[in-house]
Structure 1
Amino acid sequence: MAIQKRCLAWDWTNTDGPGHQGVPWAMDIVSFQGPLRSVSNWNTWTPPELKGRAPFRPMVRTEAQLNGDDWNRIQSTGENIIHFFNEPERAGISPERAADIWHRQMLPLRANHGKKLVSPSCASDEAGQNWIHKWMSLVSQQPPDFLGLHYYGTDGNKAIDYLVSMHNRYPNTPIILSEFASIHRNYNDVLGFTMQVVNWMDEQDWVFEYTLFGCMRQVADGFVSPAAQLMNPDGSFTDLMWKYMSDQPMHF
């Protein structure tokens, strides 16, 4: 029986849209019979190519998703887990403002619709840690169901140490690592990092879910590693994607 904690970061550009051609056919190749449990795309809308084969994780990524069609989708979604804010410390959103929005708009989703809510997912640097600690203190009376985190680096031990430190600080809040990846430029090192962290997380009952970045045809930016891509430019899957989708434990 597979331990199903893995989420697929399915970039929005993989979905056909106005002015761009996606690779929706690639979703048909994805297996949800193993460790993969869910799909995210940093948006409120579900990729139509998912075809209901796995749960989708809608996200209120920025303040722009708090009204209009995006907010209507959040309010009417049949999905049971909703992510709140993606690296707000880098988007100019203060912990105080995010806490106000949490109480005013997000908590009614839990109270009235039974949704489970993920905290904002901050970067693991000092600014990100300071932000999330402040926010958690501001919402301590009505905390999130899950603590959202991000981690990028080259040392698997440091990634594990970070997750343990956050768990020790918030022991009653299960963790969703909503983005993580090795930024090493050598594939064997990328695979070593990914194997170490994934196999360890599978054994921790307080890690609810994790999302390896990212399934997209183009490298997102100069920070992430081309060697850590889950998708090739033609829409086919990389070796790392096949391992992430199929292997448990992950191995060379």
Structure 2
Amino acid sequence: MQLLVCVTLVSAFAVYVSGAALDGPKVGLAWANGNNIPLTNFLTPHVGAIHTWSPHCPDGSNSIQCYQMLWGADSGRITDFNNTVKPAGGNKNVILGFNEPNEAGQSNLSPQVACIFWHSIIEPRAKEGYTLVSPATSNAPGGIQWMQQFFQCCSDCTVNAMAVHWFGTSVSSFESWVSQWHVVFNNRDVLVTEYGFQDFNGQQHSADEVVAFYKSVGTWMDQQPWIKKYFPFGFIPSPQSGNPAALMTADGQPTALGLMILNEAY
């Protein structure tokens, strides 16, 4: 494989324009259920998109945008992506980049290797009419540095918007992190493709605290024109008891918290 030489200018960020494909209702479904759970109870006028951490779109998603993802760079995922993703059209016109490449337990790619695969697999899709969204690093301290190095190697890449992940319990930290990605990367639009209330120290929090967090960040994101979509993590079956942050019940229905987000009832 041909080695790409990184440029040294940090300011030489990739090509981008804001695309109409990212407009519309802001709430997104981070959906890992395939066709096992019907989408019917999760589609409201405030829901505008869905992603499945893959190039596949579940049944019943034709009324909203389906963002197709190249999760990682292993041969099986690349083959699946290439076989599934057709030229843009209908509700499929946005591609998401690699999932948490800065994490060993996720797609686990160096910025330089990610750049090589972006050039060969994702970049050609821009000519097919797709809006291209950056890889999404975790909110580990090195996430922004990973992305800066990616752009140093990918200065000629088309990146229309930034994907951001964040987990924690602080509203101010969430807002600061997401805003930083907008400012650092040339005021690009932002998609928060995963976010959630999670205490990494194991401290217990009340349902009221969880609700207050989602109300605050949801209201704030709705007020920022540069935040195009936000995907709470995640609409995945979970017992209601003992997990005040669950968005879906064990039998596949939205929880009260899930309904609040789906209806933007902030």
TM-score normalised by length of structure 2: 0.80
CA distance in structure 2 between the aligned counterparts of 1:186 and 1:71, rounded to whole angstroms: 45
Identity of aligned residues (%): 24
Deviations 1:136-179 (A, max 9, x none): 22223334101111000100011101112222211331111110
CA distance in structure 2 between the aligned counterparts of 1:228 and 1:77, rounded to whole angstroms: 35
Q: How many residues align?
A: 230
The equivalences for 1:131-150 within 5 A come to 131-150=146-165
Residue 198, structure 1, aligned to residue 218, structure 2: yes
CA distance in structure 1 between the aligned counterparts of 2:149 and 2:243, rounded to whole angstroms: 34
Structure 1 unaligned segments of length 5 or more: list them: 17-21, 220-224
Instruction: Pick the aligned partner of 2:80 from 66, 69, 83.
Output: 69
Q: Which residue of 1 aligns with 2:27?
A: 6
CA distance in structure 2 between the aligned counterparts of 1:70 and 1:170, rounded to whole angstroms: 27
Instruction: Pick the aligned partner of 2:51 from 34, 37, 40.
Output: 40
Is this contact kept in 1: 2:194–2:233, CA < 8 A?
A: yes
Residue 49 of structure 1 deviates from its aligned partner by 3.4
| Secondary structure of 1:4's aligned partner | coil
CA distance in structure 2 between the aligned counterparts of 1:228 and 1:96, rounded to whole angstroms: 36
Q: Which residue of 2 aligns with 1:92?
A: 108
Greater RCO, 1 or 2 (C-alpha within 8 Å, sep 6+)? 2
Q: What is the CA RMSD across the aligned residues, in angstroms?
A: 1.9
Q: Which residue of 2 aligns with 1:126?
A: 141
Is this contact kept in 2: 1:179–1:213, CA < 8 A?
A: yes
Residue 70 of structure 1 deviates from its aligned partner by 2.8
Pick which of 72-81 and 210-219 moved more.
72-81
Residue 56, structure 1, aligned to residue 66, structure 2: yes
Residue 77 of structure 1 deviates from its aligned partner by 5.5
Q: Which residue of 2 aligns with 1:229?
A: 246
Structure 2 unaligned segments of length 5 or more: list them: 1-23, 200-204
TM-score normalised by length of structure 1: 0.84
Residue 95 of structure 1 deviates from its aligned partner by 0.3
Partner letter of residue 102 of structure 2? Answer: E
CA distance in structure 2 between the aligned counterparts of 1:121 and 1:69, rounded to whole angstroms: 20
Is this contact kept in 1: 2:163–2:190, CA < 8 A?
A: yes
Is this contact kept in 2: 1:7–1:38, CA < 8 A?
A: yes
Instruction: Pick the aligned partner of 1:107 from 123, 139, 150.
Output: 123
Residue 41 of structure 1 deviates from its aligned partner by 1.2
Higher helix share: 1
Instruction: Pick the aligned partner of 1:23 from 27, 34, 37.
Output: 37
Residue 198 of structure 1 deviates from its aligned partner by 1.3
| Secondary structure of 2:251's aligned partner | coil
Pick which of 146-155 and 134-143 moved more.
134-143
CA distance in structure 2 between the aligned counterparts of 1:92 and 1:245, rounded to whole angstroms: 32
